[in-house]
Amino acid sequence: MTATDIRPGRLSDAEYAENFSDLHPPLDHHEALVEADRCYFCYDAPCMNACPTSIDIPMFIRQIQTGNPVGAAKTIFDQNILGGMCARVCPTETLCEEVCVREVAEGKPVKIGELQRFATDTYMGRELPHPFNRAAPTGKKVAVVGAGPAGLSCAHRLAMHGHDITIFEAREKPGGLNEYGIAAYKSTNDFAQREVDWLMQIGGIELRLGQRLGSDFQIGDLAGDYDAVFVGIGLPSAYALNIPGSDLPGVEAAIDFIARLRQADDKSTLPVGQDVVVVGGGMTAVDAAVQSKLLGARTVSLVYRRGREQMTASRYEQDLAAAHGVHLVFNAMPSRINGANAVESVTFEYTSSEGGKLSGTGETFEIPADQVLAAIGQWMQEETGELELDGTTLAREAGNRSLLPFKNVWVGGDCAHGGEDLTVTAVEDGKIAAESIHKTIAG
């Protein structure tokens, strides 16, 4: 094998179009009414308690049922201003739908995520006025570092309170995870950018692109120039496979592969290997594996060092991968990437776990490969030495306020300690920080 095995154009234009169409086609009006009618509208609903943003799920489903999807959307946006994207990418199967009374009783939950998309798409598709009005200007200024879900949520909520917001974003587009880190078949038709444009209609938010923390500005500078600062920079750098052969052509981070695919209008131009190996067990690993198959790879193997139950990707995502022909391999870790001038195969060692400690068994096997995608975790790239760390993420206290040395800095999203790489939890982090900031600077 040579590096030329990684090439574009493995499929026809029709196949690419079909493969990267909506994973879940949106419900039509009749389907939404039928699905809404399945809801029991529970008092103290378990689905609402399971939602990280505390959306009043029974209320918005009732509004759909009574023919008021616009009102349903407002109910959603009141708690989650990025409800449209969350309806597409939120792991509802492990959150609201997992605890749905219908799921518990029948094994078939109400399709909460699809109903949420029906409502939010209806609102945004009708070009209605922005659902929230901005309060009178307060004269207070807040800097938001990072235009991902946490930063956008924080900025929008603060703008509602009348504060002036400036967002500093390192990349050429806003959106963060939603723009660069989501599988292309989960968010089609440039929805991430359309949602950002819609959110910005609240007014009072200035967006500065190409501004990177550590090189173009420092936290200390912002803390001195603004009344408050929110940091939601995400974890943009991927951990590399620290094994022999990991520097061979054909080895790359899965997040880079996904970002490149997300930014390509023509999927036929994207190169993919004939035999692809993905290392990891999270959502990023599954997204990379499935999309490799959709691009035309002959074989795709997703290899995880622990058992199926320990995978952070949900069972739904695992089954999605298997349904697309991805071979799932458990309890194995890579020990060497083989090849002369490019990847030819990967050697794995079986693992065992005792007392939670993972170790190799000494027994190995080999998987042919010309492309290896690593999805084993991410870390902060920016110079954040000015802020206190808790392990490898930014330390925080109640209200998502950062710890010393700065009194007017808040943090959120997966760059903050305890954060998750989910849009919905990032939105909630930004919302919590915004309310804490508002209470502090308006006091």
Of the two residues 392 and 60, the one the predictor is more confident about is: 60
Give the span between the Cα atoms of 229 and 166, in whole angstroms.
Answer: 10
Instruction: Give residue for tokens 């290896």.
Output: 372
What pTM was estimated for this model as a whole? 0.95
Q: CA-based diameter of the chain, in Å?
A: 68
SS3 19: helix
- Strand 251-253, strand 371-374: pairing: parallel
Per-residue confidence band for 387, with pLDDT thresholds at 50, 70 and 90:
confident
Which parts of 240-377 are beta strand (E)?
251-253, 275-279, 299-303, 327-329, 332-338, 345-354, 357-368, 371-374
Give the span between the Cα atoms of 335 and 347, in whole angstroms.
Answer: 6
Return the pLDDT at 431.
Answer: 98
Beta-bridge partners for 372: 251, 277
Return the pLDDT at 382.
Answer: 66
Q: Using one digit for the tens of pLDDT, what is the confidence trace for 227-265?
A: 999 999 999 889 999 999 999 999 999 999 999 999 999
Give the span between the Cα atoms of 146 and 40, in whole angstroms.
Answer: 40
Q: Using one digit for the tens of pLDDT, what is the confidence trace for 365-374?
A: 999 999 999 9
User: For 21-148, where are the alpha helices, taking DSSP H only?
Assistant: 29-36, 46-50, 57-65, 69-79, 83-89, 101-106, 112-125
Residue 430, CB half-sphere, CA atoms under 13 Å: how many? 34
Tell me the percentage of the chain whose pLDDT exceeds 70.
Answer: 98
Per-residue confidence band for 225, with pLDDT thresholds at 50, 70 and 90:
very high
Return the pLDDT at 44.
Answer: 92
Q: Which two tokens stand for residue 223?
A: 């803390």
Answer yes or no: is pLDDT of 105 > 50. yes
Return the pLDDT at 191.
Answer: 96
Answer yes or no: is pLDDT of 437 > 70. yes
How much is the average pLDDT of 1-13?
A: 80
Return the pLDDT at 4.
Answer: 57
Answer yes or no: is pLDDT of 380 > 90. no
Return the pLDDT at 3.
Answer: 47
Answer yes or no: is pLDDT of 272 > 90. yes
Answer yes or no: is pLDDT of 300 > 80. yes
Answer yes or no: is pLDDT of 113 > 60. yes
Q: Using one digit for the tens of pLDDT, what is the confidence trace for 401-420?
A: 998 678 899 999 999 999 99
How much is the average pLDDT of 293-299?
A: 98
How much is the average pLDDT of 162-172?
A: 97
How much is the average pLDDT of 109-125?
A: 98
Handedness of CA 325, 328, 334, 338 (dihedral sign): negative
Q: What is the mean pLDDT of the chain?
A: 95
Per-residue confidence band for 2, with pLDDT thresholds at 50, 70 and 90:
very low
Answer yes or no: is pLDDT of 216 > 60. yes
Answer yes or no: is pLDDT of 388 > 90. no
Q: Which two tokens stand for residue 320?
A: 């999605």
Question: Please, which residues have CB within 8 angstroms of residue 10's CB and are 6 or more apart in sequence?
Answer: 272, 295, 296, 297
Any idea what the Cα angle at residue 288 is, between residues 262 and 379, rounded to 5°?
85
Q: Which two tokens stand for residue 375?
A: 């999805």
Cβ burial of 409 (10 Å; 0-12, 13-18, 19+) is buried
Q: Which two tokens stand for residue 309?
A: 């139950």
CB atoms under 10 Å from CB of 50, counted, come to: 18
| Under 8 Å between Cβ of 201 and 116 | no
Q: Using one digit for the tens of pLDDT, what is the confidence trace for 194-206?
A: 999 999 999 999 9
CB atoms under 10 Å from CB of 354, counted, come to: 7
| Under 8 Å between Cβ of 366 and 347 | yes
Per-residue confidence band for 1, with pLDDT thresholds at 50, 70 and 90:
very low
Give the H or E element holding residue 389: strand 389-390
Instruction: Give residue for tokens 């760059």.
Output: 415
How much is the average pLDDT of 142-169?
A: 98
Q: Which two tokens stand for residue 228?
A: 């408050």
Tell me the percentage of the chain whose pLDDT exceeds 90.
Answer: 91
Q: Using one digit for the tens of pLDDT, what is the confidence trace for 330-353?
A: 999 999 999 999 999 999 999 999
φ/ψ of residue 75, rounded to 5: -60, -40
How much is the average pLDDT of 136-149?
A: 97
Answer yes or no: is pLDDT of 147 > 80. yes
Return the pLDDT at 181.
Answer: 94
Which parts of 193-312 are beta strand (E)?
205-209, 228-231, 237-238, 251-253, 275-279, 299-303
Return the pLDDT at 198.
Answer: 97
Any idea what the Cα angle at residue 48 is, between residues 45 and 54, rounded to 5°?
145
Return the pLDDT at 391.
Answer: 81
| Under 8 Å between Cβ of 274 and 367 | no
